């Protein structure tokens, strides 16, 4: 076909398709060939539906020939295995949903389908989005394309690894406490967590309903803007979706940052931060200053309570949401049960993995009689204080700059037996979910060991244009990043 798939962006694919350089069918075949070449090593996908993708591609080619258009017409993307796509499995990385087939499209999927997107397959993930490494999947461990001995992040690790490894032009992920931004940072991709309520959650299997948000993982900021724009909007099927104006996010992205004020929250530059991460982020801050931005130090004083607050609220909501997986209605049902209660217990014991069980137990505890006020109610009060911290700094700042994580990707198996240490790695990301604001991860540097580092850009609720403009201007000034070695074989 003559097009380099590994570096092909959504906009590049659209240009190639509209210019007649390739057909959607050829594009899908080439991406599937890339998956066949290296996914045995990377493990980004749970499943690839080549025939269905080719069928959708041929329909897109026919529509284009007939003069019809769509903002994503013929572009193949990967879907995190927590979003319902009609006729496909939706395992959520769990044995408890083995055999389940989605009877409907999630609203975000329906909007992508209406614009002509092609769905490649199901990207691997931590079970029920509970994890930061994609080691908690019941099906496989996903490897980081930059170093196959390292984790890709999580819980959207399969989505980020697919994009980084050239196995997808773009992908969908979900972000409950950093699950788009952190794997995007670990894998050298762009990851956008939209504001809570910007994109409908209908059809997203819930982990924590007040925190979950769907968003894109892409190769550049402009692609993330387009996918966010397509999926945005109020939805009668999701009462938490907001009827906010949808700006044209993918156009009018500036080349400089003149007149922009960016805050540098001192609480995010924590003790123990990896030196390469600190240097990379601070170099990006200086680049933004060179582009004309005013940089000022700000304080978000309640950040120190964020991780504990998050893990109370998130686990409480998970405990309630996952009660529906009981062996009665869909998915796995344990054999040999003597009565419904025994069947319920055995199904959940066999179907859920260790991390999911840990969070259900914790969530049930903080909601239990005698502990609700001490834990859950107190956490909700602190959540309000965290949101107010952001509201105060955004009175004077258009956006904030921070690291995505305190460290680059670590080795597979590291921290696996120390969940508390893994939870503490979420310190820079969970605050955005607690406050409902938007956040963006953009690659900014490489460590001495050759792993990517991400710059996090945080903006006010429903001001995605703020963070996308900053991210795009920085990205253009930064120049091209290297590609993983796996793509050079």
Q: Which run of H or E residues covers position 55?
A: helix 50-65
Is 179 designated active site? yes
Pair of tokens at residue 391: 């509201």
Side-by-side strand order, sheet with 294-298: 45-48, 118-123, 76-80, 171-174, 214-218, 190-193, 438-446, 452-459, 399-403, 261-265, 294-298
Closest CA to 190 of 159, 169, 221, 163: 221
277: which residues sit within 8 A by CB, 6+ positions away?
403, 405, 406, 407, 408, 447, 453
Task: Identify the active-site residue in 80, 111, 193, 219.
Answer: 80
DSSP 324: G
Is 80 designated active site? yes
* Cβ–Cβ under 8 Å, residues 164 and 188: yes
Task: Name residue, tokens 């409908």.
Answer: 200
Task: Identify the active-site residue in 179, 185, 195, 241.
Answer: 179
Pair of tokens at residue 309: 């607050």
Q: Half-sphere exposure of residue 31, counting CA atoms within 13 Å on the CB side?
A: 37
Is 6 designated active site? no
166: which residues sit within 8 A by CB, 6+ positions away?
5, 6, 7, 34, 38, 487
81: which residues sit within 8 A by CB, 6+ positions away?
46, 89, 90, 91, 92, 93, 122, 123, 124, 125, 158
Question: Count of residues for the chain?
Answer: 489
Closest CA to 127 of 424, 352, 325: 352
* Cβ–Cβ under 8 Å, residues 173 and 179: yes
Task: Identify the active-site residue in 23, 24, 137, 155.
Answer: 155
DSSP assignment string, 197-252? TTB--TTBPPS-TTT--EEEEESSHHHHHHHHHHHBS-BTTBTT--------TTS-
**Any idea which residues carry the catalytic annotation?**
80, 155, 179
């Amino acid at each position: 076909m003559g097009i380099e798939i590994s570096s092909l962006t959504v906009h590049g694919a659209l240009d190639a398709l509209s210019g007649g350089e390739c057909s959607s069918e050829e594009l899908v075949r080439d991406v599937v060939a890339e998956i066949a070449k290296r996914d045995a090593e990377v493990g980004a996908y749970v499943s690839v539906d080549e025939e269905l993708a080719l069928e959708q591609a041929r329909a897109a080619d026919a529509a284009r020939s007939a003069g019809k258009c769509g903002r994503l017409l013929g572009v193949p993307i990967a879907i995190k295995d927590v979003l319902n796509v009609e006729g496909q499995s939706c395992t959520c990385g769990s044995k408890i949903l083995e055999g389940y087939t989605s009877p409907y499209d999630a609203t975000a999927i329906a909007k992508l389908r209406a614009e002509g997107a092609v769905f490649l397959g199901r990207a691997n993930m931590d079970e029920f989005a509970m994890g930061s490494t994609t080691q908690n999947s019941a099906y496989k461990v996903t490897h980081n394309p930059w170093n196959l001995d390292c984790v890709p992040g999580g819980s959207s690790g399969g989505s980020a690894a697919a994009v980084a490894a050239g196995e997808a032009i773009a992908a969908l992920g979900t972000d409950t406490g950093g699950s788009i931004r952190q794997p995007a940072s670990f894998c050298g991709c762009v990851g956008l967590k939209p504001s809570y309520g910007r994109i409908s959650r209908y059809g997203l299997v819930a982990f924590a309903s007040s925190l979950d948000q769907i968003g894109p993982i892409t190769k550049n900021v402009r692609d993330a803007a387009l996918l966010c724009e397509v999926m945005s909007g109020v939805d009668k099927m999701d009462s938490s979706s907001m009827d906010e104006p949808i700006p044209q996010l993918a156009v009018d992205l500036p080349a400089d940052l003149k007149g922009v004020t960016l805050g540098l929250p001192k609480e995010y530059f924590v003790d123990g931060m990896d030196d390469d991460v600190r240097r990379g982020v601070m170099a990006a801050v200086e680049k933004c200053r060179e582009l004309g931005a005013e940089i000022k130090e700000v304080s978000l004083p309640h950040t120190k309570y964020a991780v504990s607050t998050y893990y109370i609220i998130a686990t409480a909501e998970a405990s309630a949401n996952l009660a529906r997986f009981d062996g009665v209605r869909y998915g796995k049902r344990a054999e040999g049960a003597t009565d419904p209660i025994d069947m319920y217990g055995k199904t959940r014991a066999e179907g859920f993995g260790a991390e999911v069980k840990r969070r259900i137990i914790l969530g049930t505890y903080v909601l239990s009689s005698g502990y609700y006020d001490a834990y859950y109610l107190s956490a909700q009060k602190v959540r309000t204080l965290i949101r107010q911290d952001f509201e105060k700094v955004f009175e004077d700042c258009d956006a904030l700059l921070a690291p995505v994580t305190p460290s680059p990707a670590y080795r597979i198996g590291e921290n696996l037996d120390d969940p508390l240490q893994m939870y503490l790695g979420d310190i820079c990301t969970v605050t955005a979910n607690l406050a409902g604001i938007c956040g963006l991860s953009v690659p900014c540097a490489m460590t001495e060991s050759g792993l990517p580092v991400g710059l996090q850009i945080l903006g006010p609720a429903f001001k995605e244009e703020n963070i996308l403009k900053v991210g795009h201007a920085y990205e253009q000034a930064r120049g091209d990043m290297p590609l993983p070695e796996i793509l050079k074989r």
